[in-house]
Structure 1
C-alpha cells in the first residue's frame, strides 16, 4: 500500500489534477470558439436575409433570389424534415405581386435559410458550409492527452525502481548484506542503485575483514590466558593462586563479552528472553566483577526476589557495566539497586556528568578527565546497545546529587523482599 506522502502518489495526484484541468480547458476553449463562430455565422445569415428582403422588395422573383444565394455560396438542400423544426427567427416580406416568408433555423449546430412562397406554398431550403466541425480540435486534444499519459507512465516507470531500492535499503539496515542492483537504467536512479550496491558490498567486505580480525585477536588472547591458567595451577601459594585464577577468569569473560557484543552488532546474536530473579542476575554479575568475599559489600540490593524478563546474558552485561561505572564514579563508593514499578533502577551518589549523556554513549568517548582510569570508554556504549537490542529503554536522571539509571519495563513481578 502506497503512503500518502510517497513520491509516486504525489505525481499521480499531479497527473490527475493536470488531466482534469486540461479537459476543462479544452471544453472551455472549444465552447468559446463555437460561440464566436456561431455569432459570425448568425451575423452573415442575418446579412443575407436582409439582402433577400431588399431584393424581393425591389421586385425580384424567387428564382432571382435563388440565383443570389448561389452566388454568395449557398446551395439548395432537399430535406423535408428540416421544415418541421421550430424556426429560430422568421421574416415576412411583401412586394407588389407576392408575399414570402424567410426563416433561419439552427439544427444540430448547422444553420439553414428557408424561403416559403406564401401564394403556392413552395418551400426552398438553402445552406452553406457552416458546419460546427471541431474534429480537428478534438483530435489535437486527444493526442495531447495521450502524450500526457505517455509521459506520466514514463515518469512512473522511472520512479518504480525507487520502491525496490527502498526495500534493499531496509534489508541493508536490518543487517542483510545481500544487496543487488535493482535498475540498469542510465538515469540518476539507476546510477544511485549501482552506487548503493557497490557501497553495500564494500561495507560487507569491511565487516567480514573486521570480524575476522577481531576473532583472530580473541583467539590469540585466549591462547596465553589458557597457558597462564595452566601455569597458575602449579603455584603453591593458595591466595596468590586464587587471585591469578580470578584474573585469568575475568580476562576470559571480558573476551567472551566482546565476542557477544560483536555478534550483536552484526545481527548474528539471537535474543533469548527468559524469566529469572534479580538476585540471580546480581550473583552472576558479582562473578563477572570478581567481587571478593573479603571485600566490603558496597552494592545494596533491594527487592532481590523481583522477577525479570529479558535476555539473561545481555542483561548481565548491561547491569554489570552500569554497576562498574557507578562504583567508579560514586562519591561514597556505594551503589543501590532497586525496583520501581516495572523498572530496574541503579542509583549512586556523584557529581553530574560534564557533558551531555548522549555523548558518553559513543564508543571510546572521553570527557577530558585527567584520570584516565575513570573514563567511561566502551561501558556506556555497551550498556545502551545491549539494552536497546532487547527492545528495552535506557533512561537517566540526576536528582539531589544522585545518578539514577532506569532500565524500563524489564520487571514483571516484585515481591519487595530486602
Structure 2
C-alpha cells in the first residue's frame, strides 16, 4: 500500500504523525509533571504541618512561632473574616488527621494556605514560598518544537517542488505536448533529472521532425510518378499488361495511403476530434469510403449515440469490414452493433496466432497480394485512442472481431 502513495502524501502523513506524537508526548509529560509537582507540594506541607503540631505540644512562645514562620516561609493569617473565606470558599486539597492533630491544605485566589489544629491552637498559615506550577515554560518548549517541525516541513516541500513541476511537464509530454521546455532550477539530483529529460525531449523532437519530414517527402515523391504511371498505363493497348500495371500501381497507391494513416494515428501530435454522433452515421460513412456493393455486407444495428472521432472510427470499421470480406470463404461479412459492442462476423478458418500478433504492424500469416499487414494494427491503435477494446473469438466456423464499447 505504501508503494502506491505519492511522495507528497507520504511526507504530509509523516509530518502529521510527528506533530500528533509531539502533542501526545507533551500532554503526557504535563500530566505526569503536574502529578509530581502536587506530590512535592503535599510532602512539603506535611513537613510544615508536622513541625508546627509538634511544637504546639511544648506550648511555644510567640518568638518560637516566629522562628517557625521564618524557617518555613509562612505567614500567620490574623484576619478572622479572611480565615472564614478561605475555609468556606477555598478549595480543600488535603485533609489529614494524625496523633499530633489535624491539618488541611487550601488553595484560595491562587495562594496556598495551611490550617493546623491542636487543642487550643488554631492557626491559618499562608505559604509565602508556594511553588506554583508554571506551564508557560513547557508551552514555550512545545511551540519551539512545533515551529522546528513546521520549518523542516516547509524546507522539504520547497525542495521537492521542482520534482512536482517536473512531473507535470512529463505528464504533458506523455499526452503529446512536444513543445514543453524544462529549465533546471537547482544543481542537485532533481536538477540533473530535469536537465537530462530536457535533453531527451530535444532529441525526440528532432528525431520526430526528421521522421515526419522523411515520410512526407517520400509519399510526395512516390505519389507523383505513380499517378503518371497509372495515366500512361491507361494508354496501353494490351489489355492484360494494362490490368497488371494498373493493379500494381493501385497497390502502391494503397500502401502510401495506409502508411499516411499509420503516420497520422501514431504521431504524438495526433489529436482526436471527438463528437457525439450516431453509429448509423459512422456506418454510412464507412460504406462510402469502401465503395463496394451492399450485397457483400449484411447488418443488424440497434442505433445509438456515442462520442468518437468519426473520421478515424470510420477508417477502423472499414478495415475490419475489408478484412472480413477479403479473407472470408464466401466474400461476405455481417455486422452486429449496439451500445455495448460492435461485432464484425465472417465465415472462414480460425486465426493461426493470437490477436496480439496481428495487431503488430506488417504482421501476416503468409504473404498475400491483397494485404499489407497494417489493417488490424490501425484498428487496434484507433481503439486505444478512444479507450475501447478490440477482441477476437472463433465460433462454429465464423471469425468474430469485437469492439467493446463499455
TM-score by length of 2: 0.77
**Distance 1:159-1:286 versus aligned 2 partners, 3 A rule:** same
Residues 256-285 of structure 1, C-alpha deviation per residue, up to 9 Å, x if partnerless? 332232122223355476764746634532
**Distance 1:23-1:62 versus aligned 2 partners, 3 A rule:** farther
Question: Aligned-pair distance for 1:403?
Answer: 0.9
Could you list the structure 1 runs, at least 4 aligned residues long, displaced by more than 6 angstroms after superposition: 77-82, 90-95, 115-122, 272-275, 304-310
Residues 51-90 of structure 1 mapped to structure 2, 5 A cutoff: 51-72=51-72, 74=73, 76=75, 83=83, 84-85=85-86, 86=90, 87-89=92-94
**Corresponding pairs, count:** 389
User: Can you give the 5+ residue segments of structure 2 that lack an aligned partner in the other structure?
Assistant: none
Q: 2:332 is matched with which residue?
A: 335
Kept in 1: contact 2:230–2:249 (CA 8 A): yes
Q: Distance in 2 between matches of 1:218 and 1:277?
A: 28
- Is 1:165 aligned with 2:162? no
Kept in 1: contact 2:114–2:124 (CA 8 A): no
Q: 1:293 is matched with which residue?
A: none
1:396 to 392, 396, 400: 392
Q: Distance in 2 between matches of 1:339 and 1:298?
A: 15
Kept in 2: contact 1:278–1:305 (CA 8 A): no
Q: 2:105 is matched with which residue?
A: 104
**Distance 1:205-1:298 versus aligned 2 partners, 3 A rule:** same
Q: Could you say what secondary structure the match of 1:346 adopts?
A: strand
Q: Could you say what secondary structure the match of 2:343 adopts?
A: strand
Residues 223-302 of structure 1 mapped to structure 2, 5 A cutoff: 223-238=224-239, 240-266=241-267, 267-268=269-270, 271=273, 276=281, 278=283, 281-282=286-287, 284-286=289-291, 300-302=296-298
Kept in 2: contact 1:344–1:407 (CA 8 A): yes
**Distance 1:92-1:236 versus aligned 2 partners, 3 A rule:** closer
Residues 109-120 of structure 1 mapped to structure 2, 5 A cutoff: 111-113=112-114
Kept in 1: contact 2:74–2:125 (CA 8 A): no
Q: 1:294 is matched with which residue?
A: none
Q: 1:125 is matched with which residue?
A: 126
Q: Distance in 2 between matches of 1:272 and 1:68?
A: 97
**Distance 1:222-1:386 versus aligned 2 partners, 3 A rule:** same
Kept in 1: contact 2:102–2:117 (CA 8 A): yes
Question: Aligned-pair distance for 1:306?
Answer: 9.3
Residues 133-179 of structure 1, C-alpha deviation per residue, up to 9 Å, x if partnerless? 24332221211111112222233333444443343233112211122
Q: 1:217 is matched with which residue?
A: 218
Residues 404-415 of structure 1 mapped to structure 2, 5 A cutoff: 404-407=400-403
Q: 1:205 is matched with which residue?
A: 206
Question: Aligned-pair distance for 1:388?
Answer: 4.0
User: Can you give the 5+ residue segments of structure 1 that lack an aligned partner in the other structure?
Assistant: 288-296, 411-418
TM-score by length of 1: 0.75
Residues 6-56 of structure 1, C-alpha deviation per residue, up to 9 Å, x if partnerless? 553454344344323322321221111111121122112201211121123
Kept in 2: contact 1:115–1:125 (CA 8 A): no
Residues 272-331 of structure 1, C-alpha deviation per residue, up to 9 Å, x if partnerless? 7676474663453257xxxxxxxxx9973114999898656534532443345445654x
- Is 1:377 aligned with 2:373? yes
Q: Distance in 2 between matches of 1:363 and 1:66?
A: 109
Residues 323-349 of structure 1, C-alpha deviation per residue, up to 9 Å, x if partnerless? 45445654x253313334355532233
Question: Aligned-pair distance for 1:363?
Answer: 2.5
Kept in 1: contact 2:316–2:382 (CA 8 A): yes
- Is 1:356 aligned with 2:354? yes
